[in-house]
Amino acid sequence: SGRVIGVEGLVVEYPVRVGFLHRRRVRAVDAVDLHLGRGEILGLVGESGCGKSTLARVVVGLASPSAGRILLDGVPVPSRRPPEMRRRVQMIYQDPGSSLNPRRTVLQTLAEPLRRHRIVPAEEIEGRALELLEMVGLGKRQLSALPRELSGGQRQRVAIARALAVEPEVLVADEAVAALDASVAGAVLNLLRDLRDRLGLTVLFISHDLATVRGLCDRVAVMYMGSVVEEGPVVEVFARPGHPYTRVLLDAVPSRSRRQPGVAVRGEPPSPLRIPSGCRFHPRCPDATALCGESNPPEARRNAQRVMCHFAWQPEHAAEPQGQVSA
């Protein structure tokens, strides 16, 4: 399976107002390299504000990178993305209620992209809309429904059907089940897995929820303050996290054996306005040493796993008292 979509050296900056007079550029995404193989589901995790939604918007073409490039089937994507390239990468949002037009029936919602991208001739649109609905577990009864007549789970299925209408190769799902009840979310996750299996779809699945990522994804990338700090197969990363930040996130996942959720990441939440020197995680890292505040960590590799840390896989190294640990 070749690489379907990827980003190389991706940087996304945008201006922010600081106080009354000042403007500064903040770096929401900083030199990210990520590639997805065909039919792969990659989970992108991290705290809110870490840059994962910005990365998603760039991948689907809703925002432009400041530097670096996006590759689709190995071909660099131009900054003004042609409609044919746009068609191949589709997005599903967290809230289908606001992404669906409240005055349009499901048929009208599905007909629009079919018509715009000339997927089928006019006389076949209704038939194709019905096929799309059946593909996502809905049917004829929903064809003439308005969004308010559907449940949250049904609305998200319609949003998925609309994304599938243009026959994309890549789906980007940004917190696509975060607003749904657990059982409904589980059913939508099963649908995504099933669509990957049946259509060979490639999925970039953005989530703050590691338990969901563990159940759904093949690989996982962990983002912190605009950087990918760890990446690898889900099985390896969950069994042997190499980065202290990944370990802290995993400790916070409630498990059956441990009812109490673990501690959240201590210290101040990250702000892209104040990127620390050296390793950007050092002010919050339980394993930081003086070196960490001074120099950028190199990439460490183990099999298919890569980790940006001076002491990857060495929690026993844990900070001497003079380390840069803050309360």
Task: Using CB under 5 A, list all residues that contact Mg ion.
Answer: 53
Selection from Mg ion, ligand SF4, none that 93 binds (CB < 5 to 8 A by kind) is none
Tokens 């919602």 identify what position?
109
Beta bridge partners of 223: 228
Which of positions 236-265 make contact with ligand SF4 (CB under 6 A)? 243-244
Selection from Mg ion, ligand SF4, none that 147 binds (CB < 5 to 8 A by kind) is none
Selection from Mg ion, ligand SF4, none that 244 binds (CB < 5 to 8 A by kind) is ligand SF4
User: Does 297 participate in binding ligand SF4 (rule CB under 6 A)?
Assistant: yes
Selection from ligand SF4, Mg ion, none that 297 binds (CB < 5 to 8 A by kind) is ligand SF4
Q: Given the complex with ligand SF4, which of 243 and 306 has the nearer CB atom? A: 243
User: Does 310 participate in binding ligand SF4 (rule CB under 6 A)?
Assistant: yes
Q: Given the complex with Mg ion, which of 53 and 99 has the nearer CB atom? A: 53
Q: What's the min distance (Å) between Cβ of 48 and Mg ion?
A: 6
Residues 6+ apart with CB under 8 A from 196: 39, 41, 202, 203
Residue nearest to Mg ion (CB): 53
Q: Residue from 288, 300, 306, 325 that binds ligand SF4 (CB under 6 A)?
A: 288
Selection from ligand SF4, Mg ion, none that 53 binds (CB < 5 to 8 A by kind) is Mg ion
Own/partner pairs for 128-136, CB < 8 Å, 24+ apart?
A: 128/165, 129/165, 132/161, 132/162, 132/164, 132/165, 133/106, 133/157, 133/158, 133/161, 135/161, 135/164, 135/195, 136/160, 136/161, 136/164, 136/191, 136/195
Tokens 């599905």 identify what position?
110
Q: Locate 48 and state its tokens.
A: 């809110």
Beta strands in 180-235 (DSSP E): 202-207, 219-224, 227-233
Q: What's the min distance (Å) between Cβ of 265 and Mg ion?
A: 17
d(CA 288, CA 310) in angstroms, rounded, equals: 9
Q: Locate 83 and state its tokens.
A: 């409609």
Q: Name the site residues for ligand SF4 (rule: CB under 6 A).
A: 243-244, 279, 281-282, 285, 287-288, 292, 297, 309-311
